[in-house]
C-alpha cells in the first residue's frame, strides 16, 4: 500500500509490550483500506523491549517510535503520552490502540469512517458490562476519531486522580456529549462467558460491530505487559499453588506467557485468513 498521503494516523503507547505491537502492526499492514501511518510513544520500557520494538518497526517504513524517559507510571504516564501523540495530528482521522489491542477485520478503517456522520464523531470498543464506568461512549482500547472535532474539544487524556472512575481519557465522553456529539459502540464479548468466538480458549475481550457475531472486529488481551498477575490472583482460592511465594509467581508468569502467545497466534490466523 502507498502510504505517502495517509488518511489515518494510528497512535500506540508502549510499555514493555513489543510482542503485542508486533502483531498489531502486522494487522494494520494487511487489513487497512486507506493509507495510514503509525506513531508509537515508548514510555521508558526496559532496554530489551525497546530495542525489540525498534527492530519490529523497521519492517514498517510508515511507523515511527518516539522514546520517552518519563518517571511516570500507570494511567498518568499513559494519558501524558497520549497528550503528546495527539498534539500534532495532521490526518483527517486517527485511531488509538492499547498496546495489547488489535483491529482484526479487512478495511477496518473504511468501515469505521463510514459509520461517522454529523453527530457521531468517534467509534470504538465498549467498556466491560460489569464496569462502573459509563457505557454510552466508547473506551480507548480500540477507537477511531474524526480529527477536526477532536481538536476543537481540547481533550486532556490524563486521569482525574480525585475520582477512580475517571481514568485515562475520561474527558472524551464528557466533552463529546456536552457538545452534542455522540460515540458509537463496538460491542464487547468477554470470553469468560462467551465461548463461540475465535478466542474462546483465551481470557480476553472480543468486539463485534452491529451485532455481526460471525466476524470479529477487534480484540483486547487486556492484561498488557504484566500478563494479568493481579487479575489472576484476585479470584483464586487461598490454597491455589499460584499463591505459593516465588513458585506461584513463576507459574503465573508462565501461564500469562502461554496465553499471550496463544492470543497472538489466533490473531495471526484471523489476519491471514482474509
Give the tens place of pLDDT for each residue, 171-226.
999 999 999 999 999 999 999 999 999 999 998 999 999 888 889 999 999 887 76
Beta strands in 30-84 (DSSP E): 36-43, 63-68
Segment 147-174 mean pLDDT: 86
Other CB atoms within 10 Å distance of the CB of residue 69 = 7
The whole-number pLDDT of residue 93 equals 98
Least confident of 74-78, 96-100, 251-255: 251-255
The whole-number pLDDT of residue 156 equals 95
| φ, ψ for residue 214, nearest 5 deg | -85, -20
Q: Which residues on neighbouring strands pair with residue 67, listed in sequence order?
A: 42
* Contacts for 66-70: CB closer than 8 Å, 24+ residues apart: 66/39, 66/40, 66/41, 66/42, 67/42, 68/41, 68/42, 68/43, 68/44, 69/44, 70/43, 70/44
The secondary structure of residue 109, as a DSSP letter, is: H
Task: Indicate the pLDDT class of residue 1, thresholds 50, 70 and 90.
Answer: very low
Could you give the angle at which helices 47-57 and 18-31 cross, rounded to 10 degrees?
Answer: 10
Task: Say if residue 131's pLDDT is above 70.
Answer: yes
Task: Say if residue 81's pLDDT is above 60.
Answer: yes
Residue identified by cell 509467581 is 249
The CA distance from 155 to 171, in Å, is 6
Question: Across all residues in the chain, what is the average pLDDT?
Answer: 90
The CA distance from 220 to 224, in Å, is 9
Q: What domains lie within the chain, and their CATH numbers?
A: 8-226 (3.90.550.10)
The secondary structure of residue 126, as a DSSP letter, is: P
Task: Say if residue 256's pLDDT is above 90.
Answer: no
70 close to 44: Cβ distance less than 8 angstroms: yes
HEC assignment per residue over 163-210? CCCCCCCCHHHHHHHHCCCEEEEEEEEECCCCCCCCCCCCCCEEEECC
The whole-number pLDDT of residue 90 equals 95
The whole-number pLDDT of residue 146 equals 98
Give the tens place of pLDDT for each residue, 222-237.
887 766 555 555 555 5
Three-state secondary-structure class, residue 137: coil
The CA distance from 85 to 94, in Å, is 11
The whole-number pLDDT of residue 78 equals 93
Note the pTM of the prediction, 2 decimals: 0.91
The CA distance from 195 to 100, in Å, is 21
Q: Which comes out higher in pLDDT, residue 4 or 227?
A: 4
The most distant pair of C-alpha atoms in the chain lies apart, rounded to whole Å, by: 58
Amino acid at each position: 500500500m502507498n502510504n505517502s498521503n495517509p488518511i489515518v494516523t494510528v497512535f500506540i503507547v508502549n510499555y514493555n509490550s513489543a510482542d503485542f505491537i508486533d502483531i498489531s502492526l502486522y494487522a494494520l499492514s494487511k487489513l487497512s483500506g486507506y493509507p495510514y501511518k503509525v506513531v508509537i510513544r515508548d514510555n521508558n520500557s526496559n532496554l530489551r523491549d525497546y530495542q525489540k520494538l525498534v527492530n519490529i518497526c523497521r519492517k514498517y517504513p510508515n511507523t515511527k517510535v518516539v522514546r520517552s524517559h518519563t518517571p511516570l507510571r500507570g494511567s498518568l504516564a499513559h494519558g501524558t503520552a497520549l497528550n503528546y501523540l495527539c498534539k500534532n495530528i495532521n490526518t483527517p482521522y486517527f485511531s488509538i490502540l492499547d498496546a495489547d489491542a488489535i483491529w482484526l477485520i479487512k478495511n477496518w478503517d473504511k468501515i469505521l469512517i463510514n459509520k461517522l456522520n454529523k453527530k457521531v464523531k468517534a467509534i470504538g470498543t465498549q467498556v466491560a458490562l460489569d464496569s462502573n464506568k459509563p457505557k454510552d461512549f466508547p473506551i480507548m482500547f480500540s477507537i477511531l476519531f474524526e480529527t477536526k472535532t477532536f481538536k476543537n474539544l481540547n481533550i486532556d487524556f490524563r486521569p482525574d486522580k480525585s475520582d477512580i472512575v475517571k481514568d485515562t481519557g475520561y474527558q472524551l465522553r464528557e466533552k463529546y456529549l456536552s457538545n452534542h456529539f455522540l460515540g458509537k459502540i463496538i460491542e464487547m464479548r468477554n470470553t469468560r462467558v462467551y465461548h463461540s468466538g475465535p478466542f474462546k480458549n483465551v481470557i480476553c475481550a472480543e468486539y463485534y460491530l452491529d451485532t455481526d457475531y460471525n466476524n470479529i472486529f477487534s480484540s483486547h488481551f487486556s492484561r498488557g505487559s504484566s500478563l494479568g498477575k493481579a487479575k489472576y490472583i484476585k479470584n483464586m482460592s487461598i490454597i491455589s499453588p499460584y499463591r505459593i511465594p516465588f513458585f506461584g509467581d513463576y507459574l503465573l508468569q508462565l501461564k500469562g506467557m502461554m496465553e499471550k502467545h496463544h492470543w497472538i497466534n489466533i490473531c495471526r490466523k484471523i489476519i491471514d485468513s482474509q
